[in-house]
Amino acid sequence: MNSDADPRFQRSRQAILSAARALLLEKGPVAVTHAQVAERAGVGRATVYRHWPRSDELLAEAMATVPMPLLDNPTAPTRQWLTRELTTLAEQLALADVRAVATTLASTALWDQQMDARRAQFATILAERLAGALDAAQDRGEVTLAVPVRDAAAFLVGPIYYRSTIEHGPAGSTLIETLIAAIGAWSAP
Amino acid sequence: MNSDADPRFQRSRQAILSAARALLLEKGPVAVTHAQVAERAGVGRATVYRHWPRSDELLAEAMATVPMPLLDNPTAPTRQWLTRELTTLAEQLALADVRAVATTLASTALWDQQMDARRAQFATILAERLAGALDAAQDRGEVTLAVPVRDAAAFLVGPIYYRSTIEHGPAGSTLIETLIAAIGAWSAP
């Protein structure tokens, strides 16, 4: 009946995804049901079922429309790159939609394999990018690390994540500079 | 009809709370519905409604039966107290029930005032206890802090929380010792 090329099909798909994302941000993941999404999107419930037979898959796809904070490719000097990237990450984690997706991901990952795969992918990208950048910085003589590189993401991102999701406050420049200074002895710029 | 003193009322209340907690751990907060809790507890759905007219309040009360990691009252020497308390906190956050409650709390706090009050209380206890202990340690000459005391909880608890809830790994003694060493210059014991 419907096909991916049908413009009406594409339009209702976009309307459903937007409605699911809006419900997640306003009321949380429990509100992303076929009935509530249909009402918000102004389509019939059968249409929602046709696109997403399962509401957990609709939730996952709505969450995927929110860009999650990652780290850009490292550049030297590493200390300036870290300051810039951690500041951006803190600003993103202060946004309501990113905070909603991050906490929903951490929670649903415990009970949903697809969500857990996304959680693991997110954690791995941050961990590998930080470990790679700090390893290279140490090789270049920029820093002598006080932290094993495998702990760098927990050490640097963990406090910003905790400040945002548990303490509900901003991770300011003092916290970010303190973390970067504490990860090792930096040589003078 | 029923009263708090009625032993049958108390028994069904306990059965419902246990069922709600088991469902939360096995399937997540979305499974804590009147219907599923009634089935698991072996009581009628009307009985669940009589005790908890709202399922979000039942979820909150089931979550409150899981003891959350806090910090015991500080003792000197502070460095040993920190090692002991952060090790306990990491062990607790590695437990499935504590991890389920912590991530559910962080997520539901965004949309539920009662949950948000519990989140804030949890964050405040950890922050005040750490700030108080580290302030006193600095006054006694045990440590010269590299981190503002208001950031101590994010700095020390954040990485352990991130390791548990995002990286799904254990926060081992290396990470804990690195964090304690990085928070300031400790005088020789």
Please indicate whether, in this complex, the C-beta atoms of A182 and B107 are within 8 angstroms of each other. Answer: no
> Do residues A103 and A11 both lie within one domain?
no
* Confidence band of B115 (pLDDT split at 50, 70, 90): very high
Residue A49 sits in a domain whose CATH number is: 1.10.10.60
> Do residues A41 and A89 both lie within one domain?
no
Q: Tell me: the pLDDT tens digits for A87-134?
A: 999 999 999 999 999 999 999 999 999 999 999 999 999 999 999 999
Choose among A109, A158, A174: nearest Cβ to B162: A158
pLDDT at A2 over 80: no
pLDDT at A1 over 50: no
User: What is the arithmetic mean of pLDDT over A10-33?
Assistant: 92
> Do residues A55 and A95 both lie within one domain?
no
> Do residues A134 and A101 both lie within one domain?
yes
Please indicate whether, in this complex, the C-beta atoms of A154 and B171 are within 8 angstroms of each other. Answer: yes
Residue A139 lies in a domain: yes
User: What is the arithmetic mean of pLDDT over B132-150?
Assistant: 95
- In B84-143, the residues whose Cβ lies within 8 Å of chain A are 96, 99-100, 103-104, 106-112, 119-120, 122-123, 127
> Do residues A110 and A144 both lie within one domain?
yes
Nearest residue on chain A to B118, alpha-carbon basis:
A166
Distance from the Cα of B159 to chain A's closest Cα (Å) equals: 4
Residue A71 lies in a domain: no
Please indicate whether, in this complex, the C-beta atoms of A110 and B153 are within 8 angstroms of each other. Answer: no
Residue B125 lies in a domain: yes
pLDDT at B2 over 70: no
Residue B14 lies in a domain: yes
Residue B2 lies in a domain: no
For residue B178, the chain A residues in CB contact (below 8 A) are 146-148, 151, 155
Choose among B30, B157, B158: nearest Cβ to A30: B30
Among B18, B162, B125, B50, which Cα is nearest to A130's? Answer: B162
Q: In terms of residue numbers, what domain contains A27?
A: 7-64
Q: For all residues of chain B together, what is the average pLDDT?
A: 92
ipTM of the complex: 0.92
> Do residues A170 and A132 both lie within one domain?
yes
> Do residues A22 and A103 both lie within one domain?
no
User: What is the arithmetic mean of pLDDT over A145-162?
Assistant: 96
Please indicate whether, in this complex, the C-beta atoms of A119 and B27 are within 8 angstroms of each other. Answer: no
Residue B83 sits in a domain whose CATH number is: 1.10.357.10
> Do residues A121 and A59 both lie within one domain?
no
> Do residues A45 and A100 both lie within one domain?
no
Q: Is A183 on the interface with B (CB under 8 A)?
A: yes
For residue B120, the chain A residues in CB contact (below 8 A) are 168
pLDDT at B1 over 60: no
Q: Tell me: the pLDDT tens digits for B72-98?
A: 889 999 999 999 999 999 999 999 999
Phi, psi of A161 (to 5 degrees): -65, -45
> Do residues B40 and B95 both lie within one domain?
no
- Tell which of A24, A41, A64 closes a domain: A64
Cα B145 to Cα A49, B30, B103, B138, distances in angstroms: 57, 43, 30, 7
Q: Which of A2-11, A24-33, B12-21 has the lowest mean pLDDT?
A: A2-11
Residue A119 lies in a domain: yes
* Confidence band of B132 (pLDDT split at 50, 70, 90): very high
> Do residues B119 and B178 both lie within one domain?
yes
Cα A175 to Cα A90, A146, A170, B1, B149, distances in angstroms: 10, 17, 10, 57, 11
Residue A70 lies in a domain: no
For residue A179, the chain B residues in CB contact (below 8 A) are 155
DSSP state of A6: -
Residue A46 token pair: 């059968």
| DSSP-derived 3-state class of residue A69 | coil
* Confidence band of B189 (pLDDT split at 50, 70, 90): low
Domain count, chain B: 2
> Do residues A113 and A180 both lie within one domain?
yes
* Confidence band of A4 (pLDDT split at 50, 70, 90): low
- Tell which of B15, B38, B64 closes a domain: B64
Please indicate whether, in this complex, the C-beta atoms of A110 and B119 are within 8 angstroms of each other. Answer: no
Choose among B29, B161, B182: nearest Cβ to A166: B161
Residue B23 lies in a domain: yes
- Give the span between the Cα atoms of A34 and A39, in whole angstroms: 9
Q: For all residues of chain A together, what is the average pLDDT?
A: 92
User: What is the arithmetic mean of pLDDT over A38-67?
Assistant: 93
For residue B171, the chain A residues in CB contact (below 8 A) are 154
- Give the span between the Cα atoms of A24 and A40, in whole angstroms: 12
- In B144-173, the residues whose Cβ lies within 8 Å of chain A are 146-148, 151, 153-155, 157-163, 165-168, 171
Choose among A122, A157, A181: nearest Cβ to B146: A181
What pLDDT sits at residue B15?
94
